[in-house]
Chains A and B, each alone.
Chain A
Amino acid sequence: MAPAIAIGSAFDNGHSVSMSGDTILEASGLTKEFKGFVAVSNVDLKVRRGSIHALIGPNGAGKTTCFNLLTKFLQPTRGSIHYNGQDITAMQPADIARLGLVRSFQISAVFPKMTALENVRIALQRRRGDSFDFWRSERALTEFDDEALALLADVGLTEFSATLAGELPYGRKRALEIATTLALNPEMLLLDEPMAGMTQQDIDRISALIRRIAANRTIFMVEHNLSVVASLSDRITVLARGEVLAEGDYATVSKDPRVVEAYIGAGHA
């Protein structure tokens, strides 16, 4: 992963709508301890509305733990998380999704035994509320079909609408996952290594997609691929040994000697 860091200030912020400095997600003093081991220690993080914010760091830096804390899949030991000014520290993951804060997963999170159309529709179906109508025909769901097809078309999956998601190639699965997430029209997306395991061709396609969907949303992502981070992000937080090491745009961060040391080791700095 090291060589990519030399790309320099290739970052592009032409797509971000608002750089007003307005904070959408804020974590303060975020700490997670596992039986004496401190995975995330006292992390302060502010994500600006409309930005693409990346969280990077060497292996074992606590990125995934941090991500799971922000999405409420883990409960922090200490610290607080505010979303749009609301304290969400004690909320359940399903409930923050309802506030418009939706996460993706590192391993592709499609519903393998459902068709691509059904995958997207299950998200649209959320609008029906907590419906337990087991007596009604699934015909009731056809009202969402047009919208689901439009979302599939958006990510280039029109021809796969009737294909079982489990049969799709990896890159297409990721695209389907994004279509499913977009179906909720979330205000903020949290992406867990969106490029993990992808071919270069897929990376280009998904990068373009992320840039497009970021036009009117905030995106926070954990990503290993530094050239992707460099080209997409407005702001980068570098995590090492569970603590924030540096923060800024790519140009600033990539020149920071502590970051270079964390990534390559002191001998090369």
Chain B
Amino acid sequence: MATDSEMIDVVQVDRPGAIGMPMLHKAIFIGLLLLGLVAPFMLYPIFLMKVMCFALFACAFNLLLGFGGLLSFGHAAYFGSASYISAYTAKAWGFTPELAILCGTGAAAILGLAIGSLAIRRQGIYFAMVTLAFAQMVFFFSLQAPFTGGEDGIQSVPRGYLLGLISMAPDRNLYYFVLGVVFVGLLVIYRIIHSPFGQVLKGIRDNEARMVSLGYRTSRYKLAVFVLSAALAGLAGATKAIVFQLASLTDVYWTMSGEVVLMTLLGGMGTVFGPILGAAVIVTMQNYLATFGDWVTIGQGIIFVVAVMLFREGIVGVIARIIRRPL
């Protein structure tokens, strides 16, 4: 990109090495937490919980795409299957919500390991197609398997008692539990990105052949991030099932995989905070414009086109460029 003549405008990153979380990121995380703490006093808690679950889902997807350079077109499989497992264990086996969510997350991780170990053998569009094909298989499984309830899904899942003690039936109680889960999930993703492992991932994303020539067995790292991403997407799906007391085919359908791509691109792929904003925008649109029916989908399509044509870096990506700081 830059040639000899373009020497003037060199971007200096504020952290040459790694010195923990920069102040700006710390401030944003604290701001998000404060916002999360006061928001249910102003907005409908169920809506907010939906935003948070999708924010975590999008961030988990972004971990794979934005930092691992791998475009999965089947992330609904992990989100949806975790939501089925979480709903089933809570309803049929009477698991407490945190245990049900853990089971869902674990199931998504195992599914991620199985699909990922086959998918990472292919690159680029073929990788995306393999993940999509497996996700479709998971969809048909969910449609046919006896325990998923077919078209009906698993309905009226009990919210239960957190640790068997605190009732999750009041929205406010559940809300703060979900806030905790999602916030910890986001911090985990942040740590993964900013770990020695995360450095290797960025290297693979930027130039895989070069990483190979430096002696890195890149496929192992790609599989590891695939499993982490699937597990975190599962965490989001499992939590969503408890919130809505429902696991349904929507969560595992391919359009869900498409939606998470849209959220990530709109917010800013490869940014830390972009997917959170992207998820908030899309979920808000779906919620408040729901009365317009199918027009929401058309609106999303237009947004997608505009984002790709005009600001490929996404909203947060553009802001990061303007303030010249990574976000």
Contacts and interface: CB of A to CB of B under 8 A. Distances in A.
Identify the interface centre among B18, B191, B192, B210: most chain A CB within 10 Å of its CB: B210
- Which of A136, A138, A168 has the most chain B CB within a 10 Å cutoff? A138
B13 interface: yes
B2 A168 contact: yes
Interface residues of B, number: 46
B4 A170 contact: yes
Contacts of B1: 112, 166-167
Given A111-B203, A113-B202, A133-B196, A170 B212 contact: no
Interface string B109-147: 000000000000000000000000000000000000000
Given A97-B215, A105-B209, A141 B199 contact: yes
Given A71-B213, A94-B218, A164 B13 contact: yes
Contacts of B192: 134-135
Of B13, B192, B202, B211, which is in contact with the most chain A CB atoms at under 10 Å from its CB?
B13
Contacts of B38: none
Interface residues of A, number: 56
B199 A118 contact: yes
A20 interface: no
Contacts of B13: 115, 162-164
A161 B10 CA distance: 12
B326 to A, nearest CB: 9
Interface in B54-72: none
Nearest to B6: A169
A257 to B, nearest CB: 38
B29 interface: no
A97 B3 contact: no
Name the 8 nearest CB pairs between A and B, nearest first.
Answer: A97-B215, A162-B16, A138-B18, A111-B206, A134-B197, A109-B210, A134-B192, A169-B4
Interface of A: 71, 73, 92-95, 97-98, 102-105, 109-115, 117-118, 121-123, 125-126, 128, 130-142, 145, 160-164, 166-171, 180-181, 184, 199
